[in-house]
Each structure stands twice: as structure tokens, then as C-alpha cells.
Amino acid sequence: MRTYLVVIDETDEARVALRFAARRAAKTGGTVEILALIPRAEFVQWGGVQAAMEEEARLRAEALVAQVAGELIDETGVRPSITVRQSEPIAAVRALLKERPETAALVLGAAASGGPGPLVQHFAGIEAGTMPCPVMIIPGSLTDEALDRLS
């Protein structure tokens, strides 16, 4: 089964990548793996404050994933797998790809304006030739109609 890995956050380009991946999965009989990342809180002198900050970040990430997963199921019928990790983004993606060798593609969204984000820059640049799967970069400027046509 084809699995499309999408890293989700609150950006528009992440939602574009997810929409594309969901439509591809629906058309190919595949599935979607959503990876939500929780940034590590910068060191705070009081451990309780740091723990509260990390818990708040985890709750925000879980709420975001629940929302996008619900939309994905409603629109395409594809029930995604969800992974939430507190890690540096590039390391988290590398680790998940290693754990899930059946991944058919890493699907990343590129911002509609400005330079590429760190994941696009890294996986389409430095590591492009060593990836265990294709990297699909979906332009953030694509409309829903264009995404549906292309996927």
C-alpha cells in the first residue's frame, strides 16, 4: 500500500501538501501518514514552567492534527495514521522514514512566496539523492481545483 508522509503545521503550504497527498492516496488506494512536530521548549530555569510550555505545545499539535484528520476523512474517505513527536524536524522525518520503509513519498508544501522552508530546503537539496523515497514538493500557490486536477 502506498503511504504518503506529510509533515503538518499551521501553515497554508502544509495544508496544500496534505490535500494533495490525500487525493493521491484516495486515487491510488493508498494512505496518508501525518507527522506533527512539537518544538522543544527553550530551556527555562524552572522545570515546571518548561513542562507546562511543552504540554501546551503538545495540546496545540494534537488539536491541529485532529482537525486536519477530520477534514481529510470527510473529503476523501482516507483515514490517516498520525504520529506526534517532540523532536527537531529534520531528524524526526528521517527517523520516521527509517521506521516506515513502505513510505511511497515524502510530500512537502512550498510557501507561495519567499524562500523554501527548512524541510524543503534540506530534503530537496542536501539529501535529495539519498532519500529512501521520492520527495514531492507541492507549490503553496495551487488552488484546490488545481490540486484536484494534478493529484
CATH of residue 29's domain is 3.40.50.620
| pLDDT value, residue 126 | 84
DSSP code at position 56: H
At 83-100, the pLDDT tens digits run: 888 889 999 999 999 999
| pLDDT value, residue 49 | 63
Q: How far is CA 27 from CA 33, 60, 103, in A?
A: 16, 31, 16
Total number of domains in the chain: 1
For residue 80, the enclosing domain spans 3-150
Do β-strands 31-38 and 103-110 pair in parallel, antiparallel, or remain unpaired? unpaired
| pLDDT value, residue 42 | 61
Q: Which residues of the chain have pLDDT under 50?
A: none
